[in-house]
Structures are given as structure tokens and as C-alpha cells.
Structure 1
Amino acid sequence: MTELPSGTVTFLFTDIEGSTRLWERNPDAMWIAIGRHNAILDAAIAAHAGSHFKSIGDAYAVAFRDAPAAVAVADMAQRALAAEPWGETGPLRVRMAIHVGEATPVGGDYLAPSLNRLARLLATGYGGQVLLSEDVRRLVAEHLPHGVTLKNIGRHRLRDLLEPVQVSQLVIAGLPDHFPSLKSLELHPTNLPVQPNSLVGRGQEVAAVRAMLGRDDIRLITLTGVGGTGKTRLGLQVAAELSEAFADGVFFVDLAPIADASLVLPTIATTLGVREGGGQSLRDALVAYLAEKRLLLVLDNFEQVLDAAVE
């Protein structure tokens, strides 16, 4: 290993999304996949003079003397990971996060507050996503690789940190750039659209739907009525008021653009950030994802794709 950087150091952390499940499902295939994963990351790190100083399971911790090099590695690695033919495991989707801070290596490792912050940031992301702290964003904004831009995704409170932090995301041309809301503390996961005004005169209906959703024996509620009577607005109001009751989030799934019932399941999965892989069909992946969640889905305009109800 080359000499570890000291002083102002930029750190890149990586983690394979759902790796435990993949290991349990097909360990032989995962050994092969991990070999490819490691080779891809090692090549990108070597190309930009990074120092891979620690692995925890299949997660990497890498140090750099400058922030643009860390971003270049994330860009190069994500492109290669996306292009790799993974075979039996399905795609390995790797979340990454980058932060910078003062650090001094000790015995081939680092002990620094910046690493704690980076670990918290990484935990909020999703496979294929690259998150940057505000300090890193300032350092790299004018030094991005070709085909890479930045997206501001707001201020988020991370576990064990007192104040919310500004977070940005790398947008890499040709790769997915839409992900669910970060898994940060102050936000219950949601994609509910912001309403331009208050709901007036529907207090009785809101209370009735809320009461039904509070019952353990009710898992499905259908709001019916002629078009234009405010069913969507009522559903959104109830969902917004109950966001704290559903620890794993409340999500709005707009089915208005869909006429083909076979597209309902993929639309729900896309909204939740669920993808097939690891030998599972998209349906099985979605069922497994929802099985242990306390989550509310608002399916709008379902009447036009009723055949999907058999799913």
C-alpha cells in the first residue's frame, strides 16, 4: 500500500446493497461476483492514486489526497459496475459516499470524526447512488469528470449528528439518477406531492379513513366516487397526516399514465426503489421488500388497471 495521506483527507466509503441476502441465496456465485466487484474498485482506485486502507466485509474505505480524485473513482467504478455482466447474482448495486476532513493515519487506519459522519451519510443512500457532503461539493464543483453533474438533494439529519447537513448526489450520464428519499432521520420516507392549498370541508372523511387505517384488521381501503370529487386530494391528505404512523414511509403511486395492467407492479417497484436481482423476479423482490415494512401506499387511478389486482 502507498503511504496514506494525512492532513486534509478525502474519504470514499462503499457498500453493496442487499449483500447479506445475496450471500445467503447463492454464496458460490457471490464469491465470483465479489472478485469482479473488487477488481473493478481496485482498478478505479489505482487509476486515481487512492489508498484502499480498509475493508469491512465487502465494503471499501478509501483515502485520497484531493476530492476530485475520489469523485473520479466513484464515476469510473459506477460505470464499470453498471456495465458488468453479473450472471447468477444479478447486478451488484453499490452505494457510495464521499466526505473530507482532517485526519492522520494510525497503524494503517484512521480515527477521525469525519469517518463517523461519512458512515452515517453512506447509510442513507441506495445502490448505484453516490452522495457527497457539502464540503466535498464545494471542492469538486468546478472539477467534475466529463458527463458528471451534481444534484442538490437538500438538508438531512443523520444519525448521531445534532444538526442537519447539506447533501448532494453525483449524476452520471447514462446511469440511473432517480432514487427514493434518503433514509435520514428527520424525514419519514415519502414522495407525497406538496399540495398548493389546505383541504377544506372534508374533515369527517379524513377522520373516517384515518380511523380505518388505524385498525389492525384493515389492510386495504378503496376511495370511490365520480371523477373530480377529490378522491386523490383526500387520499393525499390522509397519507400526509399519518406519515409518522408508518415508520417505513408513505408513498404516492400515480397510475394515471398507465393503461396496461402489467405495468402497475413495475411502477410501484420503481417508486419504492425496488429492483429485481439475486435470482428473484421483480414481483418476488417487491414482496420481500414489503414483507417486513410498515408502509402506506396511495395508488391513484387504480380503476383503469383493475386487472392488476390479481397480483
Structure 2
Amino acid sequence: MARLDAAKRADLPDSAFAYVDSRGRRRLPIHDESHVRNALSRFNQVRFEDDRARDRARKRLLNAAKKYRIVPVGFIAGQLRSEREFGELAGREPVRLPTGFVTMLMTDVEDSTALVHRLGERYGTLINDVRTLLTDAAAQAAGVVVDARADEFFAVFETPAAALDTAVAVQRELPGRTWADGLRVRVRAGIHSGYPTLNKGAYIGMAVHTVARVCAIAHGGQILASGDTRLAARESAPPGVRFRSLGDHRLRGLPEPVPLYQVVTAGLVGRFPPPPTR
């Protein structure tokens, strides 16, 4: 990384820094790729004036990482862990979950039992790598991770476009990764938009059950979306994303059939068997 001397630093606009405090002091330059990488590694060393300042700086840093096509592996996972630990110590909820109409994304790893049997103790490393990929992708789309346990992952977004961006990014990235023993790791993804109920820091209600059921019938490498998500994204779908109708399907435990759509875009597998529903 080229050294940023005082004269060059002074010439940079405020937008070239992730954090500018109330006194105008500028921290974490992000004007080029090498400084963005440096800012990612030094973020936790900066003293921020308050939580809002920290959140603004983190968003600016992640946007800069996206601009330079840097995948900040481990950065977001570390941020979430530290915030949750601090929240527990402080006796407060560290991550605020959005309320009202939201879009939920659930994923799980296809054939995870077979992977556990094949890898044994090494499965932990694999699932941590998958979880980090999912967490980073969600954070870059301004999503909030609700839960991540075993091979399951649950995130929520204020817009359907953000959830779609996350799912597409993950499904494009996974096939290019190298895994232990040359194994192929695929995740299924389900997306649903609705009004979950927030109860003691967790979502409950029919909307949550719906996204879980949609995820459960997807194939590895596939993204399934409910009709509610397609409707919500009709004017805001990411460029190049289309919805292929798979018809109405009865999902276990749900009283009415759910219209299902496969998310189709460049870089994703286009053909899958029909959903295994009744």
C-alpha cells in the first residue's frame, strides 16, 4: 500500500474516508483498493463517537469494498460476533431487527448429513466458510442476520431487491470455491416477503414458516421465491433478474397453496427438477 502523506491526505474529499467525526477528523481512507483492505483490518482499532457513527462508517466501508470487488471474508462475521457479545454484557439487544413489511432469506446446505459423514471434524471448517460467505453477502446488501446455526442461515432485508442480490451473489460464488476433498457444496435458498411478528428479538408467525417451507423444497444451487416476493419486487428487481413461474404448490403446514417462482439470471443454473411438493 502506497503511503498516504499529509499533502495527499489533505487533498482527498471527506467521501474518501469511512469515518469523519464531529470535529472533522478523518479516519480510515477508502479512496483505493489497498486502503480499503487496510481499513477492513483496522476498523476495530478506531474509537467511534457512538453506535450510529460506527454503523455509518461500516456501511461506507462495505460500499467501498463492493466498489473494488473485495469480498471482506471474516470482517462481517467478526463484527456480528463482537456486537452480540457486547449486547449480552450490556444487557441490551445488539442488533435491531426491522419491523413491518420485510423480505426474508433462508438457506441450508444440500446433503449436509452426507458431508458430515465424509468430512467428520473437518465439516466445522466447511460450514464456517459457507456461513461467512452468506454473512458477508447479506451485509453488503444491508441485510441483518437473524440466525445462523448448523447448516441453516436466516437473514432479513428491508427490500426484496436486497434479498435477491444476496441470494444471487451466494449462488454465483459457491461453485467457484474449492472445498475439502474436492467436494461440491450447494445451498438451497428460499425468499418470502411479508409481515413477521417480532417477539423477544426473534421473528415468529406464518411469514417465517412460509420462507422456511419455500427453502426446504428448493434444490441445491436454486433460488425459489414466493409470489409475494415477486409481487413486491415487480418494480425493483435487480437488473437481469427474472422470475420463472413454477405454479402454485401446497407446502407442508400452510393452509393455502403458495405461488412459487425460480429466480433466473446470468451465472446461475437454469434447470432443476420440479419442486418436491404435494
Structure 2 counterpart of 1:58: 151
1:68 is matched by which residue type in structure 2? A
The 3-state SS of whatever aligns with 1:154 is strand
Residues in 1 aligned to 2:113 and 2:170: alpha-carbon distance in whole angstroms:
21
Q: Deviations over 1:166-198 (max 9, x none)?
A: 10011131221211110111xxxxxxxxxxxxx
Shift of 1:32: 2.3
Q: What CA RMSD, in Å, does the superposition of the two structures yield over aligned residues?
A: 1.5
Q: Deviations over 1:208-240 (max 9, x none)?
A: xxxxxxxxxxxxxxxxxxxxxxxxxxxxxxxxx
Unaligned runs of 5+ in 2: 1-93
1:70-85 aligned at under 5 Å gives the runs 70-85=163-178
Residues in 2 aligned to 1:28 and 1:148: alpha-carbon distance in whole angstroms:
38
The 3-state SS of whatever aligns with 1:177 is coil
Residues in 1 aligned to 2:155 and 2:143: alpha-carbon distance in whole angstroms:
6
- Which of 257, 260, 269 aligns to 1:164? It is 257
The answer to whether residue 126 in structure 2 is matched with residue 33 in structure 1 is: yes
Unaligned runs of 5+ in 1: 186-311
Equivalent residues of 1:26, 1:89 under 8 A apart = no
The answer to whether residue 201 in structure 2 is matched with residue 108 in structure 1 is: yes
1:3 is matched by which residue type in structure 2? R
- Which of 124, 133, 136 aligns to 2:217? It is 124
1:261-300 aligned at under 5 Å gives the runs none
Equivalent residues of 1:171, 1:177 under 8 A apart = yes
1:27–1:146 Cα change, 3 Å: farther
Structure 1 counterpart of 2:112: 19
The 3-state SS of whatever aligns with 2:195 is strand
Q: Deviations over 1:66-113 (max 9, x none)?
A: 111111110111111122122315121000001111123222211111
Equivalent residues of 2:127, 2:150 under 8 A apart = no
Structure 2 counterpart of 1:276: none
Residues in 2 aligned to 1:89 and 1:161: alpha-carbon distance in whole angstroms:
39
2:123 is matched by which residue type in structure 1? M
Residues in 2 aligned to 1:36 and 1:42: alpha-carbon distance in whole angstroms:
10
Residues in 2 aligned to 1:158 and 1:64: alpha-carbon distance in whole angstroms:
23
Residues in 2 aligned to 1:146 and 1:85: alpha-carbon distance in whole angstroms:
28
Equivalent residues of 2:160, 2:237 under 8 A apart = no
Residues in 2 aligned to 1:172 and 1:52: alpha-carbon distance in whole angstroms:
24
1:239-250 aligned at under 5 Å gives the runs none
Q: Deviations over 1:110-168 (max 9, x none)?
A: 11111111111212111011011101001113323233222111111111223222100
Residues in 1 aligned to 2:159 and 2:205: alpha-carbon distance in whole angstroms:
17
Structure 2 counterpart of 1:181: 274
1:104–1:165 Cα change, 3 Å: closer
TM superposition score normalised by structure 2: 0.63
- Which of 20, 45, 59 aligns to 2:138? It is 45
The answer to whether residue 165 in structure 2 is matched with residue 95 in structure 1 is: no
Larger Rg: 1
1:132 is matched by which residue type in structure 2? A
1:36 is matched by which residue type in structure 2? D
1:193-232 aligned at under 5 Å gives the runs none
1:147–1:28 Cα change, 3 Å: farther
Structure 2 counterpart of 1:197: none
The 3-state SS of whatever aligns with 2:189 is strand
- Which of 126, 132, 137 aligns to 2:230? It is 137
Residues in 2 aligned to 1:103 and 1:147: alpha-carbon distance in whole angstroms:
29
TM superposition score normalised by structure 1: 0.57
Residues in 2 aligned to 1:147 and 1:38: alpha-carbon distance in whole angstroms:
26
Structure 1 counterpart of 2:248: 155
2:176 is matched by which residue type in structure 1? A
The 3-state SS of whatever aligns with 1:22 is helix
1:37 is matched by which residue type in structure 2? V
